[in-house]
Amino acid sequence: MKDDAIVKISDVSFRYNGEPAISNINLEIKRGEFLGIIGPNGSGKTTLLKIMLGLLKPQKGYVQLFGQDINSFKDWSKIGYVPQKAGSDVTNFPISVEEVVGMGGADHETITNSLVKVEMAEHRKRLFRELSGGQQQRVFIARALAPKPELLILDEPTVGVDINSQTKFYQLLRDLNRNLKLTLALVSHDIDVVAHEVGEIACINCKLVCHGKPKDILKSNFMEKLYGKELRFVLHGH
């Protein structure tokens, strides 16, 4: 049977200046999954993400992408990435929405198709800096979708996005996951929101504290272990 894990993280550790950022992490992301990677600030979430993207090399353990060791993996077009504060490099320039999406060399048809997927085609001629935070994030997702990736990774994608736009944004992600069969991994500290939007949660606080279905995790004491006893978590109906 074909292995459906497209990311395998095995016993991975990383230190900054001798201080552990993540320790002995074992985690798989399966094809078609919508995974939320959550944890407090400074818990190692972004470090783990950078290791998955090949931006950092683990000091212990190994990573496989699409069945290949990350050190020999070449087909990076299979992975789309929307970094934290992605708009900071273009908001000061008079660049249009379609120019942002085409930064990776996408042709006109690909740009159009990508903008349609994120419901931003009608804004293609507008200046990027004129858009709301939520609209800008949609444009960056369109840019990441242009190479037709199989996995999309997002780092704190709703920072600077208002609450109403966040709801629509997560609906967009669910639609991409469901309709395009796109595998999603989202890093966030916003536990309450993420827990109601994703299919799986991985809780990181240097170590992998928990991994499973949101309802199972929220009914357990894992959140207390992750954030401390002061956390009072309310699981609202969806």
pLDDT digits (tens, 9 = 90+) for 70-112: 999 999 999 999 987 655 666 667 899 999 999 878 899 999 9
pLDDT digits (tens, 9 = 90+) for 184-200: 999 988 777 788 889 99
**Does 235 score more than 60 pLDDT?**
no
Structural domains of the chain in order of their starting residue, each with its CATH number: 33-54+77-227 (3.40.50.300)
Instruction: Note the pLDDT of residue 228.
Output: 61
**Does 133 score more than 90 pLDDT?**
no
**Does 66 score more than 80 pLDDT?**
yes
Query: What order of strands is seen across the sheet that includes strand 34-38?
Result: 79-82, 151-155, 183-188, 34-38, 200-205, 207-212
Distances (CA, A) of 114 to 123, 145, 229: 12, 6, 44
Average pLDDT over residues 124-142: 91
Tokens 């299979």 locate to 78
**Does 51 score more than 60 pLDDT?**
yes
- CA–CA separation, 16 vs 175, rounded Å? 37
Element (H, E) at 140: helix 133-145
- CA–CA separation, 133 vs 130, rounded Å? 9
DSSP string computed for the chain:
----EEEEEEEEEEEETTEEEEEEEEEEEETT-EEEEE--TTSSHHHHHHHHTTSS--SEEEEEETTEETTT---GGGEEEE-TTGGGGTTTS--BHHHHHGGG---HHHHHHHHHHTT-GGGTTSBGGGS-HHHHHHHHHHHHHTT--SEEEEESTTTT--HHHHHHHHHHHHHHHHHS--EEEEEES-HHHHHTT-SEEEEEESEEEEEE-HHHHHTSSHHHHHH-TT--------
